[in-house]
Structure 1
Amino acid sequence: MGRKLKEETPPIEPETPNDPEIKAEKKKKKRKNREPESTQQSPKRKLEETETQTSPESNERKKKKKEKENKEVGSEENGKRSETHEDGLVAVTGKDAMEAKYAPLKSFAESNLPSEVLRCCLNFDSPSPIQSRAWPFLLDGRDFIGIAATGSGKTLAFGVPAIMHIMKKRKGKFSKGRNPLCLVLSPTRELAQQISDVLCDAGKPCGVTSVCLYGGTSKGPQITALKSGVDIVIGTPGRLKDLIEMGVCCLNDITFGVLDEADRMLDMGFEPEVRYILGQTCSARQMVMFSATWPLSVHQLAQEFMDPNPVKVVVGSEDLAANHDVMQIVEVLDDRARDARLVALLEKYHKSQKNRVLVFVLYKVEATRVENMLQKGGWKVVSIHGNKAQHERTKALSLFKSGTCPLMIATDVAARGLDIPDVEVVINYSFPLTTEDYVHRIGRTGRAGKKGVAHTFFTQQNKGLAGELVNVLREAGQIVPAALMKFGTHVKKKESKLYGAHFKEIPVDAPKSKKITFNDSDDE
């Protein structure tokens, strides 16, 4: 649990006469000192630098906080503030009543939720860190931003408050043909299905129904489910937009919206669809956004569709760090040597062909080639990637999860969000395009307190990411191979504490870029 922050005592100002003119002059000077005239605030206020009616003493405290490198992770309102500690946990400080209201939950009983709602939590001793901090705010109707790693219990962190929201709105009346009240957007089909499984089980004791909408499969059953009436819609942006345009999915009554893995969703190019879909929902909605990182694109999306003062809670760090329960082994190889080395590693790690081994590749065609190569070598293997039909992907994932076929080749569709139990080894046959995706990939093992192994092939083609990878390995206390160091340790535009900048925070009121035209004339 987060430690209580010690509040600093503001300096005491000398009393001033109760002269209205003096007070007015003093307020004018305070405003002038607080913000120079040359810097005008944009109408769209930054989420983490929201302008509030605070005293100079409060501004002084904020300044001191920044000097100590304590990041503000929430809005300041009525004396309440959320902050991140060095230990990675979050505490809420402020007025006593506000502090008690939003204090992290130590047990499920403290939530005072109905027993039927908490039935989905019977297998857990207490709420996870993100659940214990999210529930008090979400149950109070606050817009919420959660930054937490995958596998941290995020689905129930927003799922339980969503069910409570629906029960209060419906008041026990679940009519046939009703429009949904809750929307959950997910970047991939597999993650959407996983969320749907969790919310279907959690909502069943309460009479709350869900439907999962995703591409690669027939629209018929999905349309039928929508027409019969549901409470929660979970979907991928592409299929959901199609059904809205067909007139079979109405989101006008959505008053609880969730963007899960928001950074990944925008990375995949779904921003136009996300904006279109959110534009179809009720304007007076509660918005929830979960993301493993906080890039500029997600920042801007939150700024547009959320309340000006959302609560932002970080569990861990906004800077992505590798799971310390995973032993990371990096080999620098020639590209042509990877096939033979992969087979050698499978003979080492998967000799019994019983333990789960997940092999990541970069491209869809590469997944097919590696799968065929291993099958010809006598290995029992399945794969999931974008070129496969959805029923094939679902079947492959099911065989891998159940242990029927515990060796799987996957592209990055399996890198985030998926809860695959007992993956003992991850092999990165191809290094991903970003170090962030590398961290997510190896996070498929070493889950729930267990140890795992991540074996990675690094080639000359990946040398531009060498510096970032070295920093990740060092942060986790792993061995940095000498061959990797030969590529250099320089990190371009280094802003992140761990491995450089994936984005640059640009002020909302920054001037637009200018187009420069070059004259190709020989006279120049």
Structure 2
Amino acid sequence: MKKFSLKVPCFHLLLINFLDLMLNTLTFENVSCEIFAYLGSTMDGGGDGGNPGLYVIQVLFRGGGGVVSIIKYFRRLSPSHNLTLPPGPPKVTYVPEALCEKESSIFAHYESGINFDKYDDILVDVSGSNPPKAIMGFEEAALCESLNRNISKSGYKKPTPVQKHGIPIIAAGRDLMACAQTGSGKTAAFLLPILQQLMVDGVAASQFSEIQEPEVIIVAPTRELINQIYMEARKFAHGTCVRPVVVYGGISTGHTIREILKGCNVLCATPGRLMDIIGRGKIGLSKLRYLVLDEADRMLDMGFEPAMRKLVGSPGMPAKEDRQTLMFSATYPEDIQKLAADFLKKDYLFLAVGVVGGACSDVEQVVVQVTKFSKRDQLLEVLKTTGSERTMVFVETKRQADFIATFLCQEKVNTTSIHGDREQREREQALGDFRSGRCPVLVATSVAARGLDIKDVQHIVNFDLPNNIDEYVHRIGRTGRCGNTGRAVCFFDPEADGNLARSLVKVLSGAQQEVPKWLEEAAFSAHGTTGFNPGGRTFASTDSRKGGSFQRDGASHLAAALSSGADDDEWE
């Protein structure tokens, strides 16, 4: 990106840019401002009556915490500006640091929380024809010695409900649509039986082919999540001949291809980069046996559905009858279930663990009534109580993420931010600073809300509520994982968030949380709340094809079915 040495007084910047950005007034002290400009290759030069091209200003702020934040701003460039600009974005050359090969790093893991044993009492619903019997322990899964050794090194003592039911279902060769609360072990539920079958069949990575043909493709919507899945695959495959590889945007394509050509049995990928690598002829699909979609609801309703349909229709891709397709998520609205069924065999099984679409009861949820202009002060009050404990603050837009991070730095709170406009190097640095505790506060958009697993996140703050309740459930699922407890504070602006009142009350009630009286009143008075039942379940909790049979995990009899109640971000 070309740098222009333009000197703009800070007050002038505030007057012109911040008012245009519709941001609240801030007082910036000792702020260093630099302006960068970039002109896209699609610009109309504006010569003979043409339209002026767009350009982007990036304003960098160094706040009190020493953290650099970026705000991007789009404006029209007058034809009178005679600037020499590059023809397009610079080539991505970033190569991530090599991963540590020490076992202590590979097998770093969560300690189970005080509520882990409560998972045994969670209600489980399996629907579909002839589901296999659940396992009660890993020893019943008939896993090979290498996998059992890696499970032990990972600190796993006993399977979670989604693992108890998911492992035998996948091992039996059945297609699966699984729904379980965040932090419940979904990744291991599909990796363990897949790796077991690959090792039974003697699959091994080969470096002697210009076209790698993986047996497994795992797709997830964000770079952070797919990298996290890769780390789990790398851990469980440690010491075996199976080689996982991860590909995602923001890093050097050459580096990605070199990693693939070293051998690839399990390909973990984001949708865009996956289709790019297939299009380059580096990945063949004829040997594919397992297709896994993680965060499947968002994979199908956040703009990735065309890419997924293109993938399953690609040359060489086995038909759904000839492959095993697995879908995992924490929420499954009925319309998404019906859409997902297009990718699965007709006899797929539906697995629901706990209240489908429900929040984890290990997370204490607190709802605070705010106004648009009191949010920042309320945020500072909350952060005064969290100290150095890790806290994630969720906002709705990329611009707001950098704005709030800058504001907190000015208030001497070490903060960083992550969203889809930050370069991959910056995103990894932000997560690294957050994980290490250098910046105990991370301001994020939905790019970090999905499946991201960071150890010891004690607090979640929903500075801006999302547009739908499913996203709220995913956000607060960043804490309270593996039986540990957490706390989630939600800022509720009645003028902006009234449409979520009813759903929010249901989520709180379903997780046995206190519901403020003012929120119940807002829910009852909200538009379209006929038949509102605050004690009802959050979402339809059975297979959309038919009613499922609920059972307590490990019970031999069927229990009565519970009654059911009625962005602005770049994901990849």
Question: TM-score of the superposition, structure 1-length normalised?
Answer: 0.73
2:352 to 314, 318, 322: 314
Q: Mapping of 1:385-396 within 5 angstroms? A: 385-396=419-430
Q: Residue 186 of structure 1: CA displacement?
A: 0.4
Mapped contact 1:147–1:290 kept (Cα < 8 A): yes
2:318 matched residue in structure 1: 282
Instruction: For residue 117 of structure 1, give the secondary structure of its aligned residue in structure 2.
Output: helix
| Distance in 1 of aligned mates of 2:243 and 2:423 | 26
Task: Tell me the distance in 2 between the aligned counterparts of 1:185 and 1:394.
Answer: 20
CA distance in 2, matches of 1:193, 1:412: 16
Identify the residue that residue 103 of structure 1 maps to in structure 2: 133
Give the counterpart of 2:172 among 135, 140, 151: 140
Q: How does 1:111-510 map to 2 (within 5 A)?
A: 111-122=141-152, 123-171=155-203, 174=206, 176-177=208-209, 178-280=212-314, 281-283=317-319, 284-318=322-356, 320-350=357-387, 354-459=388-493, 460-489=495-524, 490=526, 492=529, 497-499=536-538
Q: Report the CA distance shift for 1:362/1:199 in structure 2 as closer, same or farther (over 3 A).
A: same
Does the 8 A contact of 2:367 with 2:491 survive in 1? Answer: yes
For 1:453-473, what per-residue CA distance to the aligned partner results, in whole angstroms no more than 9, with x for missing partners? 111111111111112212222
- Closer, same or farther in 2 for the Cα pair 1:279/1:296, shift >3 Å? farther
8 Å CA contact retained: 1:468, 1:498 = no
Q: Match of 2:443, SS? A: strand
Q: Report the counterpart of residue 29 of structure 1 in structure 2.
A: none
Matched residue SS, 1:478: coil
2:181 touches 2:359 (CA, 8 Å); kept in 1? no
Residue type matched to 1:268 in 2?
M
The Cα shift of 1:499 comes to 4.3
Structure 1 spans left out of the alignment, 5+ residues: 1-84, 508-524
**CA positional deviation for 1:139:** 1.4
Q: Check the 8 A contact 2:331/2:470 in 1, yes or no.
A: no
Q: Which deviates further from its counterpart, 329-338 or 469-478?
A: 469-478
Matches within 5 A, 1:74-113: 88-90=123-125, 102-113=132-143
CA distance in 1, matches of 2:469, 2:127: 32
How far off is 1:403 after superposition?
A: 2.2
Question: What is the distance in 2 between the residues matched to 1:499 and 1:110?
Answer: 34
Name the amino acid aligned to 2:169: F
Code of the aligned partner of 1:117: L
Distance 1:468 1:483 in 2: 14
Cα displacement (A) at 1:252: 2.5
Superposed displacement of residue 240, structure 1: 0.9
1:266, distance to aligned residue in structure 2 (A): 1.8
Residue 372 (structure 1) shift: 0.7
Q: Distance in 2 between matches of 1:501 and 1:272?
A: 26
With normalisation by structure 2, the TM-score equals: 0.68
Could you tell me which residue of structure 2 aligns to residue 33 of structure 1?
none
SS in 2 for 1:233: strand
Q: Which has the higher helix share?
A: 1
Offset of residue 274 of structure 1: 0.9
Shift of 1:260: 0.8
Could you tell me how far 1:92 is from its partner in structure 2? 9.2
Give the Cα–Cα distance (whole angstroms) in 2 for the partners of residues 363 and 349 of structure 1. Answer: 24
Opposite residue 211 of structure 1, the aligned amino acid is: V
| CA distance in structure 2 between the aligned counterparts of 1:494 and 1:263, rounded to whole angstroms | 27
Unaligned runs of 5+ in 2: 1-119, 547-572
Q: Is the Cα–Cα contact under 8 Å of residues 91 and 103 in structure 1 kept in the other structure?
A: no
> How many matched pairs?
414
Q: Distance in 2 between matches of 1:187 and 1:495?
A: 33
Distance verdict in 2 for CA 1:93–1:275, change over 3 Å: closer
1:378 CA drift (Å): 1.3
Question: Which range is displaced more, 412-421 or 254-263?
Answer: 412-421
Change (3 A) 1:482 1:506: same
- C-alpha distance in structure 1 between counterparts of 2:301 and 2:411, whole Å: 36
Corresponding letter in the other structure for 1:258: V
Partners of 2:397 and 2:238 in 1: how far apart? 39
Q: Which amino acid aligns with 1:269?
A: G
Query: What is the alpha-carbon root mean square deviation over aligned residues?
Result: 2.8
